[in-house]
Amino acid sequence: MKATIRVDAKNETGAIDRRIYGHFIENMARCTYGGLLKNERPGDPRGPWKLREDLIDMVAELQPPVIRWPGGLFADGYNWRDGVGPEEVRPMRRNRYWSRYGPFTRVLDPNVFGSDEYMSLMRRVGAEPYVNVNFGTSSAAEAARWVEYMNGDAASTLEGGRRASYGREEPCGVKTWGIGNEMYGLWSLGHSRPDQYARRYLEFKGAMQEADGGLEYVAVGSDAYFNKTWNREVLSIAGDQLDLLSVHVYLPGPERIGGVWAARAMGGTARMYKAIVASPIEYERRLRTACGDIEAELGKESTAGIAFDEWNLWWSPIQLQVPRWTLRDALFACGVLHAMHRLSSRVKVANIAQLVNVLGLIITLGDRVCRTALYYPFLMYSRLAGSTGLETNVVCDSFETLAVGGIPAMTNVPVLDCSATASEDGKTVTLFAINRHASEPAQCRIEIAGLRPAGEVAVHTLNAPHYTSYNSYKNDTTVHINEAHVDVGDALPARELPAHSATAMVFRKG
Ligand code: AHR
Ligand code: AHR
């Protein structure tokens, strides 16, 4: 296939908030306990639980900009007080949300990973914290006290003093706070109508800002699939009192497993491949709808943004325990990151769900740890993307897909999906290009207007022998990134992009 890619280095599409490459950890199944922490006495829920050093190094390598915690649905049943203070006095609790589904999603919480352990982890891996308070089963006053525990001065505040007495003198400076999770859902603890949610949100925000005047607030938003009018109603009441509206999208959707199996039976893996690599188009459409809600209710000039604070592929409960991500799924993630580059004026934060084991980028089994295929897009984009989006234009062939669960059938899906960024000093342009074709390379003509690159171009290629390839504990580099350095003359004006791959090309100004 022949194609043309044009990057216009003079046409900036807006600042890119690095937090879009963010992550999420929840006390659910084996994400925190059994993932981040290993039980040194397996079978005894009291542990001792120890942080897995090998896994922490893998997380640090991702240069994670932000990690959301403690949920998710878990957050609305969590009492932060259970997780602070000396370990021996922390209570063992039933997991108020996830225990309803039994041992599969987690029954007991030893509470040894609490606020201070979370902050230590953030410092170690260099990530910004993003804490979700309990809206569903707690109070505005308790949320404010948690803010004070995290951010209050040690000498002049009660909770700040408590924190200092537990060994953390310096305030943590947690800026981003979510108020509730998926409150539109009947499945959440504290399910509310949008007007009820918005009024009580204002109470929470009011109390929390008394504890710290410099916070960024995330209100619960909804994907139109779950509730078409939620966002508008919440924004009409609380729109001028929030910074970010959260959106979650999981496709084809765990509740639509029938549609996934039907598609598999009808089309086999080849048709599934096409639907999944094209699905970022649907994720982008849903994000645009939420952006549209903000603009319709608050006006185009509003600075309110989107926290896409849970997103991933999800089609079966098994993936909560043993996700087996393939190269196909990695290409999907690259596509969603491109969508967020394009929507960077509104999408400020995003957190793929989740970091460990639960739909996880990294999986663990006993002593073993594995970087799945889904780990690699984050390694590539978070390290190579610049701070400003650039206009890109692609001319290439297209294809059609069939519907899979919540992913609709599509026509005219371009085989290539590209996005580009510039560094802050304008001296580096990174072009990201996904070739979604299952078997054919793309012969690309690449033009960069407004920047004359020189010297060496770093070419990073995310690929594997087949789009069904996946990583295992024995070999976690079947799907991986290959890095090459080529002379600018070998990258421009013509370059071949391999079948089923994502490429990042880093050009430097001459
Ligand atoms: O990521 C798993 C769960 O999916 C989260 O707890 C919840 O917010 C969503 O429904
Ligand atoms: O499992 C219930 C809902 O299904 C999740 O909250 C939603 O995100 C998913 O698609």
Q: Which residues' Cβ are closer than 6 Å to ligand 2?
A: 182, 185, 187, 248, 250, 253-255
Distances (CA, A) of 123 to 49, 59, 264, 286, 380: 20, 12, 43, 33, 22
pLDDT of residue 228: 96
Mean pLDDT of the chain: 96
Do 298 and 430 belong together in one domain?
no
Q: Is-above-0.85 flag for pTM?
A: yes
**Range in 98-107, 316-325, 449-458 with the lowest mean pLDDT:** 98-107
User: Is the distance from CB of 342 to CB of 284 less than 8 angstroms?
Assistant: yes
- Checking DSSP bridges between strand 244-252 and strand 305-314, what pairing results, if any? parallel
| pLDDT band per the 50, 70, 90 thresholds, residue 156 | very high
| pLDDT band per the 50, 70, 90 thresholds, residue 103 | confident
pLDDT in tens, 251-303: 999 888 888 888 777 777 899 999 999 999 999 999 999 999 999 999 999 99
Using the mean position of ligand 1's atoms as its centre, give its distance from the Cα of residue 182 in Å. 8
Do 378 and 401 belong together in one domain?
no
How many contiguous H segments (helices) and E segments (strands) does the chain have? 11, 25
Do 178 and 304 belong together in one domain?
yes
User: Is the distance from CB of 337 to CB of 381 less than 8 angstroms?
Assistant: yes
Q: What angle do CA 381, 382, 385 make, to 5 degrees?
A: 60
Using the mean position of ligand 2's atoms as its centre, give its distance from the Cα of residue 71 in Å. 13
**291 burial level (CB within 10 Å; 0-12, 13-18, 19+):** buried
386/331 Cα distance (integer angstroms) = 20
Do 83 and 117 belong together in one domain?
yes
Buried b / exposed e over 169-195, threshold 16 CB at 10 Å, is eebbebbbbbbbbbbbeeebbbbbebe
If one residue of 183, 186, 250, 359 were mutated to test the ligand 2 pocket, choosing by the most ligand atoms within 8 A of its CB, it would be 250
Do 361 and 464 belong together in one domain?
no
Q: What angle do CA 167, 172, 177 make, to 5 degrees?
A: 135
- Checking DSSP bridges between strand 49-51 and strand 37-39, what pairing results, if any? antiparallel
304/299 Cα distance (integer angstroms) = 10
Do 376 and 417 belong together in one domain?
no
Do 262 and 246 belong together in one domain?
yes
Last residue of a domain, one of 385, 412, 438: 385
Last residue of a domain, one of 385, 407, 432: 385
SS3 443: strand
What is the per-residue DSSP string for 256-317? Answer: GHHHHHHHHHHHHHHHHHHHHHHTHHHHHHHHHHHHHHHHHHH-TT---EEEEEEEEEE--G
Number of domains in the chain: 2
CATH of the domain at 75: 3.20.20.80
Looking at beta carbons, which pairs linking 89-98 to residues 24 or more positions away fall under 8 Å?
90/114, 92/45, 92/46, 95/27, 95/28, 96/137, 96/189, 97/28, 97/71, 97/73, 97/189, 98/27, 98/28, 98/29, 98/73, 98/74
How many CB atoms are located within 10 Å of the residue 274 CB? 22
Do 323 and 408 belong together in one domain?
no
Using the mean position of ligand 2's atoms as its centre, give its distance from the Cα of residue 311 in Å. 11
If one residue of 248, 283, 352 were mutated to test the ligand 2 pocket, choosing by the most ligand atoms within 8 A of its CB, it would be 248
Quick one: which atom of ligand 2 is closest to the CA of 185?
6
Which residue in 334, 336, 510 sits closest to 407, CA to CA?
336
pLDDT of residue 389: 97
pLDDT of residue 257: 83
Quick one: which atom of ligand 2 is closest to the CA of 248?
8
pLDDT in tens, 188-214: 999 999 999 999 999 999 999 999 999
pLDDT in tens, 371-410: 999 999 999 999 999 999 999 999 999 999 999 999 999 9
Task: Kindly tell me the sign of the dihedral angle through the C-alpha atoms of 277, 282, 286, 288.
Answer: positive
As given in the structure block, the two tokens for residue 420 are: 């580009």
CATH of the domain at 438: 2.60.40.1180
Do 335 and 472 belong together in one domain?
no
Name the closest-CA residue to atom 7, ligand 2.
Answer: 250
Inform me whether the pLDDT recorded for 355 exceeds 90: yes
- The amino acid at 91: P
State the ligand closest to the CA atom of 253.
2
Q: What angle do CA 470, 475, 477 make, to 5 degrees?
A: 65
Do 357 and 498 belong together in one domain?
no
Do 381 and 420 belong together in one domain?
no
Residue for token pair 């994400």? 31
| C-alpha 126, offset from chain centre | 16
pLDDT of residue 450: 95
Quick one: which atom of ligand 1 is closest to the CA of 182?
8
SS3 252: strand
Do 68 and 94 belong together in one domain?
yes
Last residue of a domain, one of 353, 385, 417: 385
- Full domain range(s) for residue 399: 2-9+390-508
Quick one: which atom of ligand 1 is closest to the CA of 75?
6
User: Is the distance from CB of 507 to CB of 448 less than 8 angstroms?
Assistant: yes
| pLDDT band per the 50, 70, 90 thresholds, residue 64 | very high
Inform me whether the pLDDT recorded for 446 exceeds 80: yes
